[in-house]
Structure formats: structure tokens, C-alpha cells
Structure 1
Amino acid sequence: MYIHKKQRVVTPTNWPVFGTTPTLLVNAHRLHEYTTSVLLQSRGTFMFKGLLFANMDMLFTTDPLDIYHILSKNFSNYPKGDKFRRIFDALGDGILNSDDGEEAILLRHVTPPFLWKLQHIHRVGNEKKLSDAWKSLDHFIYKFMAQKQKEYDRVSHEAERFIFFTAIMRELKDYSGTSLDLTKFLRDTLVNLAAAGKDSVTSALSWFF
């Protein structure tokens, strides 16, 4: 590792076998600040090299043109794939696949798959934390859904007032009798909306004030 004299930023060294993982672990307690510093020094794009043979390399970028290319212009060329789905399995099959278990999900990215899967099987470490958070989240979501279902059954479907949850239920009624699990789909959608909205709303309020 070396220290940039002007910016005083530690740039991670790509070690044989271990990649840049050692530096990442050393700075795990200040991950956001460290990642920001590295991206600033690397002009917005940095390749994280994981453990050899672990298939954990990740590209970090804050370049607006790169982000536009990936998330908008050529979005169909960058499918998330089965590996992404396995890592974010707590979020289910909702419209998005992004602390209710977020810390444990983040650590899955920098932990060899065989290790976090072993923790998941035996329910230890961060995987136990994720499993417990998952159960608490499901308990809350399904209780909320049951309450809203009763309200939906009581009120007139012709009511002019727009309620997001009941609007989704009206749209999904045409799928009854199909292979789609409506209850699970609603659960996954609500969880993903909550996960996506939490950071964006708090960021918007912070910038506003």
C-alpha cells in the first residue's frame, strides 16, 4: 500500500492470492468513507480484486456516463443473474433486488460463497442475523397485508381515492388462478419498495434541509 501525499488516501494493493481483500477488511469499520476516498483518487472507477479462485471481483464506479450506460442506455445487456438473486434472496422476487439484514447481505459480496452458505445452513454469524431479520420482516409485512386485505374487502372498489396497496391488488386480480403466487409477489414488492425508498427518501430530505 502507499499513501498519496496530497490527498492522504491509502490505495489498496492487489496482493497475490488475497487481492485487495486485506485492505478492505482493515477498513471495514469505515467502509463508506474509505470507498469514497479510493474512488476519488481513482477518478471515479475502481476494480476490487477478490480472493483468487473465489470469483469475487467487483467494479465500483461513480462515473455518470458509466452509470447511465449500465442503468439506462444498455440496461438489458447487464442482467443481474442467478448469483445476484442468491445473495439478495431475502428481498425475494420483487421489482428491485438494496439495517432490517443489509449488513449481512453486503458481507456476502466479500465472503467466499462456500463460507456464507455454510453459515446459512448452520445459522451462525451474519447469516443468523440475516435469517432473524428476515423472519421479523415477514411477520410485519404479512400482518400488514392481512389488515389491508380486510380493508380492501370492505370498501367499494369504485372509490376515487388512490391507495397504493389496494391499487396493486386490483391490478393483480386478473392473475388469480395462474401460477403466480400473489401473496408472495405482494410481499416481495413491498419489501423492495421499502428497501429502495429508505435510502432515496432520507437522502432527498438530507439534501433538502
Structure 2
Amino acid sequence: MLPTASAYINQPHDYMTDVLAQSGGTFLFKGPWLSGMDMFLTINTSDIHHIMTKNFANYTRGHKFRNILDILGDGFSNTDGELWEFQRKTIMSLLKLPSFHSLYKMTIWHKVENGLFPVLEYVVKQGETVDLQEIFQRFTFDIICTLLFDHDPQSMSTEFPQIPCEKALSDMEEVVFRRLGTPPSFWKLQKLLRIGSEKKMSDAWKTIDQFIYKCLSQKQVDFTNTGYELQDGYFKLSTALVREFKDQSVEDKIREELQTKLVTNTGMKWKDFITKESQNLVYLHGALCEVLRLYPAIPFQYKSPIKPYILPSGNQVDPDSTIILCYYNMGRMKSIWGEDCMEFKPERWVSATGEIIHQPSYKFPAFNVGPRTCLGKDMSFFNMKIVATTIIHHYQVELVEGHPVVPSASMMLEIKHGLKVKLSKRCEVKIRLKVMV
């Protein structure tokens, strides 16, 4: 199987979709003898519910995963058991603090006003194309650094400065993905000799460490000198691909919803509207869910059982088994989402009464499943809604003709060649008051 898989190493996600669809939802990948590369791939919702929720304690990250993601050390995403429980409870307690929510909202809006807006205005005036994926990445990088370290690297500016740590993170994600498809003995030898992709990983690791330690060192100085108390937190911004539609497009419906909400809250400032009413943007919420269904930020999960078990699908897994939960491919399965699974339909998330339809996480795992569900889910939606409404309300976005939009081979789902778009200023929106009968 390895030669065939190697031929699709640069486009693995769509290839895996075809394989899983043809094999009924589960597939055992057999690597070379004694290579330790055998993997059990599944998009079976019963399997995922069983592994991630019902029998959660039996399925850990495992030593193989920790070795592959050694750059994360004993961090929250790379641990199991008591250490993971301790970190999870600590982070949850921080995220529940009112002071953190105030800091989070203030940080988001400050970056929109002083980073996102100026950059988009500059791009429009220059009449140039821009990589929207890069815009989102810079925005997110600045937000995370500001929240975690109280340090804004200001990568979101009209100069588009090169930030070594930001580039290093992308390199790290690429190398980690390649480790999954490489015999451990081979990439470990590369690591020892500092050659090939492992040299890229080593350089990235050094750059990331230098950035983080510099930030932490400065905060320690601040704390020692002034007694300043760090406010820690974590969130993840999932980005979306902008798609053009003919006739009545999704973009038009979102704008219509924005106008309706603005009319309802006459006299409110745009800033206050976004802060207080973003949860009422049902259609926008559905559109974001639809993006995440087809393009989850984390395309797959890696699991290893502690004890032998027969999964609901009938497949047996053993302690040395590698289980891959294929989240990206789940969104493309007719058996899960119906015949229209490849259609972009925000309406599938809106009920007949105009409320949000909530799907179980084992069917919609964009924020992971069960006890490992992303703690920053609500904050991520809030963040995405602010960015989306800011852009959609003020600008017309057009994909550059002929620009290829395909997923990259990486641990984090990114667009391989970026998202090249042309921005133009929208005419001022005229809001008509409803006549109450």
C-alpha cells in the first residue's frame, strides 16, 4: 500500500475520502513489515462516539503520537491521564473568569480596529490582490500572542512584516504530518543527523522556543518589577474558504441577516452590536458550521487503545494499533450527511423555526469529540463572527480567477497556495426601518 499512498502524499485528504467511501467507512492501512506504520482509519460515527466518548479512558494519545509531536512536550494537546486532566481543569477555570472574557473581547476588537481594518483598507486603495489566508493567519497569530504573552507581534500591518515564529509554526505542522507517513526509524535518523525535513523541524523548534522564551522572560521581568499578574488563556480561530455563488448567494443572505439585526437594534453602534448580538446571527452561524464540516481545522485525530477492543463497526483494535479518526473525510460522506454532502448549505444548520440545529460532536467533530472537545469553541465562534461580519459588511471579496484552492498536506488544514482574492469597497449599506403593523 505504501507506493500508492506515496503517490498521493501531497494531496492525502481527498485521496483518503475516496478510499474510505469505497471501503465502507473503515480501512486498515498496512505499512512495510516491522515499520510500525499500520494504521486503522475510520469515519464510522459509532466508532468515533465509542473511542472519543463512551470508552474514552481506553484510547489515549499513546507514545507514538507523543514522539511524533515531541515539539509540544508535555503540553495539553500531547498528554493523557492525570496530567491532561490537571491541565484541562486549570485552563477551564481560567476561561470561565469574567476578566478573561473582557480581555478577550477587548483584544479581538482592538485588533480588528487597529490591524484588520487598516490592512483591508490599504489593500483596497492599492487595488492589489491579497492572500486572505495569510490575513487570517496573521490576525490569529497576533491575537494568540497578545492573550498568552501580553505581547503583540503586530504581524497584521500594512508592511506585512516577516515573523520568523509564524513561519516556523507552519514548517512544524508540515513536518509533523510527514512523520505520520514515514517509518519512525527513518525520520528519527534524519533527526539525529539534522537532514531532510527533520532539519526544518529542528530549525523551527529553535525559532519557536526563542520567541516563546523571550516573551516569558519579559513577563517575568514585568512581574518582578511591578507585580503584574499574567492573564492566561487559549483559543483557536478556525478559518474559512470564501466561495462565490451565482443567483442568491450565501453572502447575500448573511448581509440580509446583518441588516435585519441592525434594524432590530436601531441606534446601536456596530461595535456594540457585534459584541452583544453575534449569538443571534443564526444563518451566519450555520455558514460557519458548514465551512467547518467540510474544512475542519484539525483534519484527523490519532488514537491508540490501552486494551484490545472490538469496535462497533466490528473491527478489532489492539494496544499496538494506530487509529486515525478521519474528520475531514467525514464531512464528505453521503452515509453521514446525505446525498448533498458536497454542497455548501448553511440551511442544513437552521431549523424550520429559525433556530440553530445542533449536531452531536461524533458526527460534527470540528471541535473534537467528548472530553477532548475544544475548550475555546464558543470563543472561536465569537471570533469568527466578528471577522466575518467585518469583512462581509464592508467589502466585496472575489477569488482571483484561475487561482487553485486545494488543501495542504499538514496537521492543520490550510490552503496549499493560499487564498488569493481581490477586495473592493461595498457601497454604503442603506438600512430601511421595518414598518410595524
Residue matched to 1:114: 185
Give per-residue Cα distances to partners, 1:30-87, cap 9 Å, x unaligned: 1112112222222322211111221211111122221121122212111223222211
Q: In structure 2, what is the Cα distance between the partners aligned to 1:77 and 1:152?
A: 42
* Equivalence for 2:239: 202
Task: Using structure 1 for the length normalisation, give the TM-score.
Answer: 0.64
- Of 81-90 and 127-136, more deviation after overlay is shown by 81-90
Unpaired stretches in structure 2, ≥5 consecutive residues: 79-169, 241-287, 293-384, 389-437
Structure 2 counterpart of 1:147? 218
| Structure 2 equivalent of residue 73 of structure 1 | 54
1:155 positional shift: 4.7
Larger radius of gyration: 2
Match of 2:232 among 164, 170, 174: 164
**Residues 20 and 26, structure 2, Cα contact 8 Å, conserved in 1:** yes
- Contact 1:45–1:60 (8 Å) recurs in 2: yes
Report how far residue 100 of structure 1 moved.
4.1
Aligned to 1:180: none
Contact residue 120 and residue 127 of structure 1 kept, 8 A: yes
Find the aligned partners of 1:30 and 1:143 in 2 and give their Cα distance.
Answer: 37
- Alpha-carbon distance change, 152 to 46 in structure 1, aligned in 2, over 3 angstroms: farther
Aligned residue identity for 2:201: L
Q: What SS is found at the alignment partner of 1:134? A: helix
Instruction: Report the structure, 1 or 2, having the larger helix content.
Output: 1
Count of residues in Structure 1 that have an aligned counterpart in Structure 2: 154
Partner Cα separation in structure 1 for residue 217 and residue 25 of structure 2: 46
Distance in 2 (CA, whole Å) between partners of 1:68 and 1:100 is 32
Structure 1 equivalent of residue 405 of structure 2: none
Give the structure 2 partner of residue 138 of structure 1. Answer: 209
Aligned equivalents of 1:127, 1:202: Cα separation in 2: 28
Residues 120 and 91 of structure 1, relative CA distance in 2, 3 Å threshold: same
Among residues 42, 63, 77, which one is paired with 1:61 in the alignment? 42
Alignment RMSD? 2.5
- Aligned identity (percent) is 45
1:106-163 CA-to-partner distances (Å, cap 9, x unmatched) read 2222212221111111100111111111111111111222233334442555xxxx92
The aligned counterpart of 1:123 is: 194
Does structure 1 retain, via aligned residues, the 8 Å contact 2:194–2:202? yes
2:199 and 2:35 map into 1 onto residues whose CA distance is 22
CA drift at 1:27? 0.9
CA contact (8 A) 1:100 1:134 kept: no
**Conserved 8 A contact 1:39-1:62:** yes
**Structure 1 counterpart of 2:66:** 85
Going from structure 1 to structure 2, the CA distance change for 1:38 and 1:152 (only over 3 Å counts) comes to farther
Residues 72 and 148 of structure 1: CA distance in aligned 2, closer, same or farther (over 3 Å): farther
- 8 Å Cα contact 2:26-2:41 kept in structure 1: yes
SS in 1 for 2:187: helix
Secondary structure of the 1:96 match is helix
Query: Would the alpha carbon gap of residues 41 and 163 (structure 1) be closer, same or farther in structure 2, given more than 3 Å must change?
Result: same
Q: Output the TM-score relative to the length of structure 2.
A: 0.32
In the alignment, does 2:111 pair up with 1:40? no
State the secondary structure of the residue aligned to 2:17: helix
1:51 aligns with 2:32: yes
Is the contact between residue 27 and residue 34 of structure 1 (CA under 8 Å) also seen in structure 2?
Answer: yes
Ranked by relative contact order (alpha carbons within 8 Å, sequence separation 6 or more), the top structure is 2
Task: Confirm or deny: 8 A CA contact 2:171 2:200 kept in the other structure.
Answer: no
